[in-house]
Structures are given as structure tokens and as C-alpha cells.
Chain A
Amino acid sequence: MTTPGTTPPGPACGCPDFRMSRRRMLGASVAGGGLLAAGQMFGDAFRQVAYGAAPGGNVVVVLSLRGGSDGLSIVVPRGDDHDRLASYRSNIVVPEGTLLGSDPRFGLHPALAPLLPMWNGGRMGAVHAVGLHAPNRSHFDAMEEVEDADPGSSARVGWINRVIGLDGIKGGPETGVSLGGTLLPTSLVGQAPALGAHQVRDFGVADLGASGALRRASLNTMWARTGGPLGGGVRVALASAQKFAPLVDDHEERVHTAAYPEGPLRDVLANTAALVRQDLGTSMIAIDYGDWDMHEGLGRLGEWDWMNRHLTHFAQALKVFFADLGTHASRVTVVTISEFGRRVEENGSGGVDHGYGNAMLLLGAGVAGGAVRGEWPGLRREDLEDGDLAMRHDFREVLWEVVANRFPTVSGRRTSVFPGLAASPAIGIMA
């Protein structure tokens, strides 16, 4: 999470530094922790139940690469399409000889080397040419569309919220958790209760220097005769906090921050792993990982080059994350998503502007990896859509394949999670 004082203003690119927009503005680290998010924005507080989904269940971690990641630098075509890519973006194309993995059609950016064992072992895969049902090149609107994932509806309920509201998953506010940011992302907003925090230790009651039990008792007394939505909300908060108390109290031992590489994913993945190991019934975890809006200086393979640096951190941090999960890794699937891809052609600043089709990465339990799955439109001029990688898979198809695979009890509820999403042949990214 960037802080206001250390983030430079955005590039002169037609999109003001999106990193600072909305959730990016929430420089929680400045406050020294202690920031906890809004929680559910709609709905009936009385329906909140302070029990998570059943323990021992599967967990899906949605890692949002905010800013529009350049999928063509992450999962790179080989062969003729690589030649074409090199002609469109000669200054920044990842050299074919450096690509990783044995998929004959695609290779991974070399910075992803720490994850290569997972890829080669079939526990990491990718789907390319993924996008919104129609292009939208505004960060703001596209992010809303991706997270709402219900085109044409004004209900303003996020897709993750729809998942955690389904029978079979439904639980308390700890079922859906957002970590690393403090305001719930749109994907988590809706009737089903959800929690958001910078880190797990924030899921406690500010103790006023007293014991947690005394403080909870005092609050319960103060609110004992207060009904209404907030009376219910306070009682749920106190019960949730009690449930989180062991994790909050021992967070220094239980959160293995030091094991992770320095960088924006360090705290948030360490906290995520601790939350999963605690097994409170959390089913869905949303994480924001910003700063992918590479309009200028995307760079090549130098240590400080923007894309290379980001992917290095991403790969190292995720490698540690799966190790840190220990035996719980068998329950956890990570899927990356971004609001749009980038233009195929580089711009005059050694970067790429907002585009359309993008790649999604999938790691962990249930993934049929080792290769790029799904259709590929190609990179010939006539294959492009307004200069962008065309879309072959609606991002919702990929998410649905993950959700249906990891939560079999809801696998018949596609249109409850993604209204209007037609049935489509399986992409095959999940085993």
C-alpha cells in the first residue's frame, strides 16, 4: 500500500495516477494500523450471523492487479505471434529466448521463475484473451464492471458478495474478507456481511487499555436496550471480534511477515496465510495489488524495470505464501484479475496504454496448470480489436469455473453469481 507522501503524481498519460484513486487512496500504513473497513454497505444487519462458513473448506483468493496489467508481458506468445508482438513493441517486448515453461504456444515472463515449479507441477496455469463482455478502457468504470460483474444491473452487489451469500457457503462476516485495503472493494459489497481490514489484527475491539472481555461486556451493556440496525450490528461486531480474538491477540506469532520479501504483498499475504491457517470459515479473500498502470517505462528485464520488478515481487511473495500455508495450501486457490489489458502496440513513452484482452493467472488447489488454457485470437493486425488483444473469454467464465470447482455445493448456481452469464464450454483451467 502506497502512502500519500511517497507516491509520485501519475504519468502524463490521459489517466491521472489511478493508483491514488479510490481504494488506492487509503494509505493505511500511515496510520500505523488500526484501520478497519466499512463492511457491508447494504442490507439487513439482523441477518448477520456470527458464524463463518464451515471450517476446513476451500478458500479462493482474488488478487486484483489494479491499473490494468499488461498480460502480453506476463504470459507471452511464442513463435509467429512473438515476432508480431516484437514488431508492435520493439522496445519492451520480453525476448522469446527468456520465456519460461514448456507450453509451446506461450511462455512466462522470466521474473516468474520462483513460480516455475508450480507451473511445471501443474499447480499454476493461465487463461489468455480474457476481458469484459465489451471493452471499457476507463479504470474507474472497468473496475466497477469487473467487480460488480452484473452488466446492466443497478443492484450494486459485487460478485464475491453474491458467492458468499449463497446457501452452502453463507456464513458470518468472516466468510468474505478483504485484506490489504480498508474499504471493501465493490466485489464484496452487498447484502451478505463481509469484513475488510488492513491486517488481521484490526479485527478486534479497540480495548481502551482494558481486557477484551471486559470491554466487550461494557459495550454489550451500553447497547443492551438499543435495537435497530446498529444495535444488531454492534452485537455482531462483538461476537466476530471474540471469534477473531486468538488470531488478533497472537498476531505477532501467527503472522509470518518476516518470511516474505519486502514489498506491497508482504504484509497482506502474510496476514492472508495466517487467516487461512486459523480456519475461521473464510471462503473468499479479496486483495488489491495496485500499480500496474504502465503507460510509460514498462521496461525490459533490468532489476529496476517496472514490470520486471513487479513480477519479481509477485512471484517471490506467492511462492512464500504457498509455503507459509503449509498443509492448508491444499484448500487455497489464487486467481488474478485486472480491469483491462493493455494496447498491443507500445506508445511513445516505452509503455502501453489502456487496452482490452488480458491474461489471468491461477495458482494452487484445483488448478489444471502447466499451460495456457482457452482460445487465443492471435496478434495479426486483423486479429486485433481496435489495436487491442481481442477477447475470447469473458472474465466471468474463468471466475465461475474457479468458484464452481472449489465450492461444489453452489456449482448449479451460475446465474446467481453471474446473472446473465450464458453456459459455455469449460475452459479447462480447473481440474
Chain B
Amino acid sequence: VSQSPVEPTAVRRVGQRVVVHAAPKAPAPLPGRDRHLVRRFSWGITPELVADVRRAGGGRKWFEKQLDPGRVSDPAGSAINGWFPSITQPASKIFTNQRDDVQGAWEVATDLSRWTVARRVHSKRQVHEVMTDFWSNLLNVSLYHDEAMFWRMDYDRLIRRHALSSFELLLRSAITHPAMGLYLDNAFSTKDAPNENLGRELLELHTVGVDGGYTEADVKASARMLTGYRVDTWWPEFKAYYSPQDHDTRPVKVMGFRHANGAADGRAATAAYLTYLARHPSTANRIARRLCVKFVGDSPSPAIVRAVARAYTANRTAIKPTLRALVSHPDFAEAPLKKVRTPMEDYVATVRSLGIRMHRPSNDDAFVRAFYWQYSANGNAPYEWPAPNGYPEAGAAWASAGRVLTGLRHHQDLAARWWPTAQASFPTEASLLPPMPCTLQQLVDHLGLRMLGQKPGAQVSIGVAQVLGMKRSRRLTRDEVLGDYWLLRRIQASLLDSPHHLHR
């Protein structure tokens, strides 16, 4: 019997029509090991992803292919690249548009956020999207920073270009990029008036770490080394340039790095300095540990951190062999579903689990535009952490009551197909069902396979049955399920609320 929808305050646009498509067939579950690898290195398991892994010949083969994203066919991702033309504009254009009241830079930055999340949802290059997130967070330049914002889109291209190359390339380009210079004040640092902000964070956050063994004198020298990378915005004109007369040419000594630094153009010396830092054992250890916290567990064993650091050092900071060492280590396979999904990982995986397909936007109601106002409420929108240290990677940071309640609300909004829904399509309810009639348990298992990549087990199933007020053995007909406003919605939202979805 169809229940009447709840009172109007809680329900938005009940009964509105949505565009639909037939869901792909529910696949057989992947072997546990592959499922674990894919969960950790994608934005959420889907029937399509399971099929891709099978097609590749297993988890590790899929992973290997993913490490070369240019060779992963990605028509969906390419289509999305055409949806947000504003983000492809050069920084100077974004600036003049802001200055001339044509388009606010914040609008462009918000489009970058939308484009990023859309790619996380739909791109086949999942490992590339995951690693772009990882490095963007390590080398955080907050999206809406007053001035760095003009350059933030260009900075994103840089991170993406090097997300799977080597850390030294990534570091050299990121630290000398105008966005970083503006964000951490190096853009105004000169030999006469050095600003130590970037010089310090480079050591503390980006490379060797606060216990990496540097002194205050090293911080000062680090700042002097970085002088010369100037960026002007509003005055006298918008440009980024190397300014030899602002570069401090005294010899530089930072930890074990020595450089005569005699040239007015300090760029070669700076590159040598950044390469030194990238290859420093403390950096190797720190990057390895952060990778392990992200992909292995909140308290990774010293053994796996050592193994990953060794691969990093042996391969001169190359990222692919470093990641291979991580997934090959026995510790990686342990403790599946023990990492807390961040709110953003939850959000993206929710859209993927529900099989929602976003379409090219024609106005602000479009899913791929409106969803910003949904996901940004979770406190974890791309690149919005307001400080240079990036969002926390450990689970305890994301376990608050507020986070939980927000997540549950978003699950409801999306599973119930309330908001956003425009310019997107949803699976027909009929295509989500197993052969009918079936028991409630069979229905829950079938939806679990689709949405979580596995059957959800007894504890979750009992909880789902509880909110439905049914026994798990209850026999359900197709008409009964499709005629009830809430039945499928409650099961889907509950599965998204379950520990299986909120962990990876």
C-alpha cells in the first residue's frame, strides 16, 4: 500500500517527474581483493566500474591501466570538459572579466568545483581524479582566496598534468606557480622585504614536515631562495613574471642544500632547491605516510610506510612506482571498509551509487550546476579548506554529528529524487529490481550489489527492514514495490546511510 508522503516541510517537490534511463544490469560482485582496491582508488563502486575491472582482467590490471589515464577511453569525461568553458580561460581573462564586471572570478572558481565533482562522478579516469584530489590537498591553494583565485584554474591544470608523474616535477611547478605565490605571499616577497610564508610552509607542509630537521635560519634562507617569483594583480597590471632585481643572490643553505645562488636569475637555483627537498628522506617518509593514511589506514604500519618511501626514493619521486609499492604491500589488503569516507567521497559515491547521469547544463537548475549548493554544505567541497595544510586525511576528523546528519539528508534528497533533478536522468525504478517477486532480503541484497558492490549483510538488512516495518522474509511483488512511494527510496537511502557506504 502506498504511503502518503511526509508532511510538506520535509518534502521538496514530491511527485515531480524526472528523466529516466534503464539501469545497467547488476553485476556479480568482484572478488574481495579487487573490490577493496577499487574502493580505495575510485570515487565509488558502480556496475559500470565492476564491468571495467572485469574487462581489464582484474583489479591490478585495471589499476595499471588507470595509471596511464591518457590511454583510458573517457567519452563521458571529455563531454564534461565542454560544459564549463569559463574555467579554460587564461588567468588574465578571468581577471579582466572580474575587473570589467563581465564575470566574477568566484563564478569561475565555482565552475571549477562543479567540473571537478562532475569528473569525479562520471570520468573513467578514476585514479587520475583520486590523485588530483590527493595532491591538490597536499599543495592546497584555497579555491576562493582573494587573489590566488584568478590563477586557481591554471593551477588545477598543473596539478592534473603532474598528478601521476613525479613529486619533484609537481613540487617545482606548484611552488613557483602564481596561484601558490599569491596564496602564500611569495608573490610580494623581495630581497629587501622577504616574506617567509611560503618559504616556511614549503618545509613544514609541502616537503620535509615540521619535524623534518630544519631551523629558523633554514626558513629564512628558504624564503630568500624563493624571491623573484613576482605576481601583480590589480596594480600596476595583471602579470606574473620573474624579477631578477627582487631576487636575493646571497648564498643559500637549507638543511643539506648549498647553493652559491650568484645569478640574478635564481630560477635554476630554485629548481635545484625544490628538487633537493622533493628527494629529501624526510619528504619521502612524509609523502609515503600521507599516501598510506589516505589509501591504507589512519595508522599505517611503519613497514608499509617504509616500503612506499623506499619506492619513492628509488624511483626519484616518480608517483606510479610509489603507488604500485603501496598496493602491492600486504598491509594494503587488510582492513577493507575501515577508512571513513570524507563527506565529499560520500557525496560523489552517492551520486554514482544511485546511477544518476548528469547532462550538459543549460541553466542554474541543472543538476551539475545546482549540486554545488548541496555538496558545498558538507564542509568538504573541492579545494575549500581555508588553510594551506589541506583537509585532514584521517577519519576522526570526519566523524562529527553534524557531518553525519548532513550526509543523511543528502542521501535522502538524492535517493528520493527530490533535489537536484533537472537536466539529469535517474534509473527507472523497474530496472533496479531483481527478478520479481522476491523477498525483502533478496531485494536489499540486489540493491546492495548495485550500490555498494556487495550484499550488505545481516545487520544492515535488519535495520532496513526495521524502517520499512517489514520482515526480511516478506514476499514483495513488482507492483507492490513500484506502487509504494517510499519503499525503494527507503532501501536506497538506508544503504547509503549504512557503514558500508560511509566507509571505503
- Residues B387 and A35 in contact, CB atoms below 8 Å apart: no
**In the complex, which residues of chain A have a beta carbon less than 8 angstroms from the beta carbon of B409?**
34-36, 202, 206
- The contact of A17 among B104, B416, B460, by CB within 8 Å, is B104
Known: A45-B399, A208-B493. 6 other contacts (CB 8 A): A38-B403, A156-B387, A206-B405, A219-B408, A230-B398, A230-B399
Given contacts A32-B12, A222-B498, A252-B9, contact A12 B98 (CB under 8 A): yes
Show 28 A/B contacts (Cβ-Cβ < 8 Å), sorted by A. A14-B233, A15-B146, A16-B150, A25-B372, A32-B419, A34-B413, A36-B377, A37-B377, A37-B378, A37-B406, A41-B379, A41-B397, A41-B398, A41-B400, A45-B396, A48-B401, A140-B142, A140-B144, A140-B145, A144-B387, A156-B387, A207-B6, A218-B466, A220-B463, A221-B466, A223-B463, A237-B401, A252-B9
Are B494 and A218 in contact, CB atoms less than 8 angstroms apart?
yes
Q: Which residues on A sit within 8 Å (CB–CB) of B374?
A: 31, 35
- Chain B CB within 8 A of A415 CB: no
Kindly state whether residue A173 has any CB partner on chain B within 8 Å: yes
Complex contact B146–A21 (CB within 8 A): yes
Q: Are A4 and B463 CB-contacts (below 8 A) given A20-B144, A208-B490, A233-B404?
A: no
User: Which of A15, A39, A219 gathers the greatest number of chain B CB atoms within 10 Å?
Assistant: A39
Q: Interface segment, A106-114, A209-217, A356-364?
A: A209-217
| Chain B, 339-387, CB within 8 A of any chain A CB | 340, 343, 364, 370, 372-374, 376-380, 384, 386-387
B130 CB → nearest A CB, Å: 20
Cβ–Cβ < 8 Å partners of B364 in chain A: 4-5
- Do residues B101 and A39 form an inter-chain contact, with CB atoms below 8 A? no
Assess whether B338 is interfacial by the CB under 8 Å rule: yes
Stretch at the interface among A122-130, A179-187, A260-268, A343-351: A179-187
Interface residues of B in 216-231 (CB under 8 A from A): none
The answer, yes or no, to whether A10 is at the interface (CB within 8 Å) is: yes
Selected contact of A222 from candidates B101, B370, B460, B489, CB within 8 Å:
B460
- Chain B, residue nearest A203 (CB): B405
Name the one of A12, A36, A139, A222 contacting B464, with C-beta atoms under 8 angstroms: A222
Residues of chain B at the chain A interface (Cβ within 8 Å): 3, 5-6, 9-12, 98-107, 110, 142, 144-147, 149-150, 204, 210, 233-235, 338, 340, 343, 364, 370, 372-374, 376-380, 384, 386-387, 389, 392, 395-406, 408-409, 411-413, 416, 419, 459-460, 462-464, 466-467, 469, 485-486, 489-490, 493-494, 497-499, 502-503
Q: Which residues of the other chain, A, contact B149 by a CB distance below 8 angstroms?
A: 16, 21
Contact assessment for A228 and B9 in the assembled complex, using a CB-CB cutoff below 8 Å: no
Query: Complex formed: what's the CA distance from A363 to B403 in Å?
Result: 32
* A144: contacting residue among B106, B234, B386, B499, CB under 8 A: B386
Q: A26-B376, A208-B493 are in contact. Are A233 and B392 (CB under 8 A)?
A: no
CB-based contact B10/A207 at 8 Å: yes
**Is A40 touching B400 in the complex (CB atoms < 8 A)?**
yes
Query: Do B411 and A154 touch across chains, with their CB atoms under 8 A apart?
Result: no
Q: Per-position contact with B for A183-204: 1 when CB-CB < 8 Å, else 0?
A: 1101000000111111001111
- Is A229 an interface residue when CB atoms closer than 8 A count as contact? yes
- Inter-subunit contact B204/A154 (CB<8 Å): yes
User: In the bound complex, do residue B392 and residue A42 qualify as a contact, i.e. CB atoms below 8 Å apart?
Assistant: yes
Asked if residues B373 and A193 are in contact (CB atoms below 8 Å), the reply is no
Closest residue of chain A to B416 (Cβ to Cβ) is A208
A206 near B412 with CB under 8 A, answer yes
A residues apposed to B, CB below 8 Å: 4-5, 8-10, 12, 14-18, 20-22, 25-28, 30-32, 34-45, 48, 138-140, 144, 154, 156, 173, 182-184, 186, 193-198, 201-210, 214-215, 217-226, 228-234, 236-237, 240-241, 252
Whether A205 touches B408, Cβ cut-off 8 Å, given contacts A41-B392, A156-B389, A228-B395, is: yes
A183 CB contacts on chain B under 8 angstroms: 376-377, 379, 384
- By beta carbon, the residue of chain B nearest A14 is B234
Q: Which residues on the A side are within 8 Å of B499 (C-beta)?
A: 222-223, 226, 230-231
**Cross-interface CB contact of B502 among A18, A230, A241, cutoff 8 Å:** A230
Cβ A139 vs Cβ B384 within 8 A = no
Q: Which of A140, A197, A224, A226 contacts B386 (CB 8 A)?
A: A140
A173 to chain B: closest residue by CB: B401
In the complex the two chains form, what is the Cα distance from A21 to B377 in whole Å? Answer: 14
Give complex CA distance A14, B233 in Å: 8
Contact A4 B373 (CB under 8 A): yes
Contacts of B12 in A (CB 8 A): 32, 34
Complex Cα–Cα for A12 and B486 (A): 51
Query: Closest approach, in angstroms, between the C-beta of A47 and any C-beta of chain B?
Result: 10
Residues in B neighbouring A44, C-beta threshold 8 A: 396
Contact A36 B402 (CB under 8 A): yes
B402 touches A195 (CB 8 A): yes
A9, A16, A194, A231, most chain B CB atoms within 10 A: A16
CA distance A43 to B396 in the complex (A): 6
List, in ascending order, chain B residues with CB within 8 A of A5's CB: 364
Give min CB distance, A40 to chain B, whole Å.
4
- The answer to whether A208 touches B400, judged by C-beta atoms less than 8 angstroms apart, is no
A394 to B483, CA, bound (A): 64
Residue on A nearest B491 in the bound complex, by CB: A208
Q: How many angstroms between the C-alpha atoms of A238 and B404 in the bound complex?
A: 9
Residues of B within 8 A of A41 (CB): 379, 392, 397-398, 400
- Distance A317 CA – B486 CA, assembled complex (angstroms): 41
How distant is the Cα of A136 from the Cα of B460 in the complex, in angstroms? 52
Q: Name the A residues within 8 Å of B147 (CB-CB).
A: 16
Contacts of B489 in A (CB 8 A): 208-209
Bound-state CA distance A22–B142 (Å) is 9
Which residues of chain B come closer than 8 Å to A16, judged between CB atoms?
A: 98, 104-106, 146-147, 149-150
* Closest CB in chain A relative to B266 CB, distance in Å: 26
Assuming A41-B397, A208-B489, is B373 touching A221 (CB within 8 A)? no
A9 touches B103 (CB 8 A): yes
A222-B497 contact in complex given A5-B364, A22-B386, A236-B401, C-beta closer than 8 Å: yes
Cβ of B421 to closest chain A Cβ, rounded Å: 13
Name the residue on A nearest B499 (C-beta): A226
